[in-house]
Structure 1
């Protein structure tokens, strides 16, 4: 169970770091955003590593980490940055969620 808590921390910090990448680009990049990005990614990889040492299988951890991150970033981009979200992209989100769910269901559980 602790492994999945670390995985949730890894996902949250990765999503924060990726979201703040938006503020590091453009005509007026923010210096503080670079700090959040670097600290967020370091924290994410440390937490992901801790989830692996606490029993979360690598394939499952990475699938959940990357899929939840992708879905979260798409939704954050749509809500906060007013980026487009088409029905094809929504179908892709559903497929990502179903795919990770199938990976989890198909895995061997102790």
Structure 2
């Protein structure tokens, strides 16, 4: 197993019809790893086992590596980072409320919704700017 996947050519004549693998699976996994690492910081900060620190390091390291994979698969950096951070913030806030009884007011929930909506608009704007039309790109 290699440490990095080479990008699949999209436009060369020999690979006509070949497409890059989707950037979404590694992006979603990067988000899960980042949220896990961030929540594990809570365990470390409250005097938990040093094993939680391993989860933090592996989670953040894996998340950043996967973001690199996402970029090699063609997702623009602004869109990838925006989605990663916005969904990460939302999931972390919701999980912290559920796991650690941290307060999450209706205004906070509205703010998280606005962040996610903004990132989705940025993603749609990027697609429109590149002239993509659905999945027939």
TM-score class, shorter-chain normalisation, is over 0.9
Q: Distance in 2 between matches of 1:21 and 1:70?
A: 14
TM-score, scaled relative to structure 2: 0.76
Aligned ranges 1:30-109 → 2 under 5 Å: 30-107=49-126, 108-109=129-130
Q: Distance in 1 between matches of 2:124 and 2:84?
A: 16
User: Greater helix share, 1 or 2?
Assistant: 1
Higher relative contact order (CA 8 A, sep 6+): 1
Pairwise CA distance, 1:8? 0.9
1:55 is paired with a residue whose SS is coil
Q: Distance in 1 between matches of 2:80 and 2:96?
A: 24
The superposition leaves residues 37-71 of structure 1 with CA deviations (integer Å, 9 ceiling, x where unpaired) of 00010000000000000111101000000000000
1:83 is paired with a residue whose SS is coil
Q: Distance in 1 between matches of 2:113 and 2:91?
A: 12
Task: Note the residue ranges of structure 1 that are not aligned, 5 or more in a row.
Answer: none
Query: Which residue matches 2:34?
Result: 14
Task: Note the residue ranges of structure 2 that are not aligned, 5 or more in a row.
Answer: 1-20, 133-137
Aligned residues: 109
Q: Distance in 2 between matches of 1:71 and 1:106?
A: 22
Q: CA RMSD in A?
A: 1.1
Q: Distance in 2 between matches of 1:94 and 1:4?
A: 20
